[in-house]
Chain A
Amino acid sequence: MNLHEYQGKEILASFGVRIQRGIVAHNAKEAVDAAKQLTQETGTGWHVIKAQVHAGGRGKGGGVKLAKNLKEVEELAGNIIGMNLVTPQTSAEGKKVHQVLVAEDVYYPGDSETSEFYVSVLLNRGTGRNMIMYSTEGGMDIEEVAEKTPHLIFTEEIDPATGLLPFQARKVAFNLGLSGTAFKEMVKFISALYKAYVESDSSMFEINPVLKTSDDKIMAVDAKVTIDDNALYRRKNYAEMRDLREENPIEVEAKAVGLNYVDLDGNVGCMVNGAGLAMATMDLIKMAGGEPANFLDVGGTADAKRVEEAFRIILKDPNVKAILINIFGGIVRCDRVAQGVVDAYKNMGDAIQVPIIVRLQGTNAELAKEIIDNSGLAVHSAVQFQEAADKVKEVLA
């Protein structure tokens, strides 16, 4: 589950990680009040107005602006809230901004130069251990750093039995070229950050940039936090942070009925049991000349109710020109699924206006084909995987 910057920062702060402070605002007036309050609490003169959406590259899209007085706070917040923010990570339409974070200005002048670093915590799948990945090249696109200057990216792997050890935190601070107060601050920052990662059951932290201020404080200026969905049952306070407005509405609806659905741009909808077979089916659609409109895993129990729900969800996408159902019946019997398809089809009446291809293989596959063929419905049936592909080609032609 992805969180907003302000939510991620809240979590970090609760574990003692220093953050750039800010207050969320939903309209221009709230933004001005937030700015006033922040000035009182932090003494900041200027304010940064940051769009809160689940997408990186917000600055590039015009979603992060510096306000030098309250009039500018009002103006900029007014402009950003309600805009469709387009960033390199969003679709062409962009993402609607519902709220901004009014944050303190932390790039104030002082005794030393400010500098920016990159720090993330994530799982190294190769070793099954968590690692801290960090770089002196903060504030930049890390993929680009990895490509152009890979020697500037360091990693520190954490032994699950001991957790992060003090020498490891020191190593990070040394490698980032710090000394004196800033060094001590970074050691504290890294230790608190790792503790936050573990105790929040996160699957990713990306803090870019981590800032060394002109008075040698180390703080998180941004925070991208992803909580492990599998652990939400024991992190109920974080589960409540889910912002459904940031998610695809059809995907949210599918999830509510227990279907695993991912919206795509193509013209052939599909309904499959199992994630691997679903991806393979999408590939086959493409080879047959179509483009998959979705990924949809109906899971292990493909009964009439689920099939009907899956139909409804796929049909919400106006681009769908055909639907391919591909079920490999193992524990689930194909004749039951076939009956489910027929019943769902009849229940939905005229809602289904596109050709349906049903491929049922496995237990009672032939019986299932008979049920489909004798139903009198405009449903094409297939048994072999290739046959299904050929039928897709046929109906798209």
Chain B
Amino acid sequence: MSVLVNKDSKIIVQGFTGSEGTFHAEQMIEYGTNVVGGVTPGKGGQEHLGKPVFNTVEEAVEKVGADTTIIFVPPAFAADAIMEAADAGIKVIITITEGIPVADMVKAYDYIQSKDCRLIGPNCPGVITPEEAKVGIMPGFVFKKGGVGIVSKSGTLTYEASDQVVRQGLGISTAIGIGGDPIIGTTTKEALEMLVNDPETNCVVMIGEIGGQLEAEAAKWYKESGSEKPVVGFIAGETAPAGRTMGHAGAIVGGSDDTAQAKKKIMADCGIHVVDSPAEIGKKVKEVVS
């Protein structure tokens, strides 16, 4: 099982022949990910990294049966790439690109609502199901196979969490980086729901940040679901001052309800095991699964 991506996923890379796309596609293939080709408009018919290049996503779906895409297209064209993938019938659209104009994402987000697909990101590290598929830019070796799911807005903090979990002798089922932009395709709640419903996941680590309502929404869903699968939570940004954006466009404290303290309280009230120190995520997971 696992969620979103596995060894049978047929993955294409949009922005395949660019420097980012090439570098990470190579790493993905080396990891053993089932990359079936890539898309770079105007370079169709060529071969790159031993895989076919197509002009359009539609062609990639027709010829190699692609069902998953990872997007490295530059910000000015990334929203268009998302819509193209959705239109072509791709089911899982993972967008790594950082810096997409918000107006473009408003349009793309609206466009994909009527399509049968799931968008992850943008501005995210991607998704990894250890030993099966790495569809992202994360260092594969940090993620050992196991039963702990991770949902996080942040890249390196996801690696940190995984590393701590692995050091406790446990492993990861699927880690989902949902991204730190104001508009993202998959929310914390949706990612948490997938992991809680995954039979191979026996515990979920939920890592959030200041700003927005995503974690509160996820926590409330968790409480209502009545699930007994333990969830460990951490919110970064306790020390971030109000009104300043902390790196991610979405990480800004607006009102009193999106501070780290307020979010942690809601999460704890909903039965999530909240840790105050980011150094204690792994320890807490070990504690709640044993």
Contacts and interface: CB of A to CB of B under 8 A. Distances in A.
Contacts of A292: 239
A153 interface: no
Given A125-B212, A128-B105, A286-B239, A276 B137 contact: no
Interface in B61-80: 75-76
A279 B213 contact: no
Interface stretch (B7-15, B38-46, B245-253): B245-253
Contacts of A362: 139, 142, 159, 163
Contact of B255 (A143, A295, A328): A143
Given A330-B138, A330-B139, A362-B159, A128 B106 contact: yes
A328 B160 contact: yes
A334 B95 CA distance: 27
A389 B279 contact: yes
A35 interface: no
B246 A295 contact: yes
Nearest to B139: A330
Contacts of B164: 385
Contact of B101 (A125, A228, A329): A228
Given A280-B234, A328-B156, A384 B212 contact: no
A129 B106 CA distance: 6
B215 interface: no
A266 B238 CA distance: 14
A385 B278 contact: yes
Interface string B210-249: 1011000000000000000000001011111101111111
B277 A129 contact: no
Contacts of B209: 275-276, 279
B237 A283 contact: yes
Contact of B237 (A160, A201, A266, A279): A279
Q: Which of A126, A203, A278, A281 counts the most B-chain CB atoms under 10 A from its CB?
A: A278
A284 interface: yes
B261 to A, nearest CB: 11
A279 B155 contact: no
A385 B141 contact: no
A385 B279 CA distance: 5
Contacts of A264: 239, 241
Contacts of B37: none
Contacts of A213: none
B124 to A, nearest CB: 11
Contacts of B76: 233-234
Query: How many of chain A's residues touch chain B, expressed as a range?
Result: 35 or more
Q: Which of B99, B246, B276 counts the most A-chain CB atoms under 10 A from its CB?
A: B246
Interface in A147-186: 159-161
Contact of A231 (B102, B107, B152, B245): B102
Query: How many of chain B's residues touch chain A, expressed as a range?
Result: 35 or more
Q: Which of A128, A280, A363 counts the most B-chain CB atoms under 10 A from its CB?
A: A280
- For chain A, what secondary structure do more than half of its interface residues adopt (helix, strand, loop), or is it mixed? mixed
A126 to B, nearest CB: 7
Nearest to A290: B239
Contact of B106 (A123, A262, A277, A278): A123
Interface in A271-308: 272-287, 291-292, 295, 297
B258 to A, nearest CB: 10
B153 interface: yes
A273 B101 contact: no
A152 B141 CA distance: 54
A184 to B, nearest CB: 29
Contact of A276 (B182, B207, B244, B245): B207
B154 interface: yes
B234 to A, nearest CB: 7
Interface string B147-173: 000001111111110011000000000
A362 B158 CA distance: 12
A369 to B, nearest CB: 15
Nearest to A265: B241
Contact of A287 (B241, B248, B255, B276): B276
Q: Which of B152, B156, B210 counts the most A-chain CB atoms under 10 A from its CB?
A: B156
A128 B112 CA distance: 12
A303 to B, nearest CB: 16
Contacts of A52: none
9 contacts: A123-B102, A128-B106, A129-B110, A160-B109, A234-B76, A279-B239, A283-B238, A384-B279, A389-B279
A-B pairs with lowest CB-CB distance, top 4: A276-B154, A275-B247, A274-B156, A330-B139
Interface of B: 27, 75-76, 99-103, 105-107, 109-110, 137-139, 141-142, 152-160, 163-164, 180, 182-183, 207, 209-210, 212-213, 234, 236-241, 243-251, 255, 260, 276-280
Given A277-B157, A282-B240, 20 more contacts: A125-B250, A129-B106, A201-B103, A228-B102, A230-B99, A230-B249, A266-B239, A275-B248, A279-B251, A280-B234, A280-B278, A282-B239, A285-B239, A287-B277, A330-B137, A362-B159, A385-B160, A385-B164, A386-B279, A389-B277
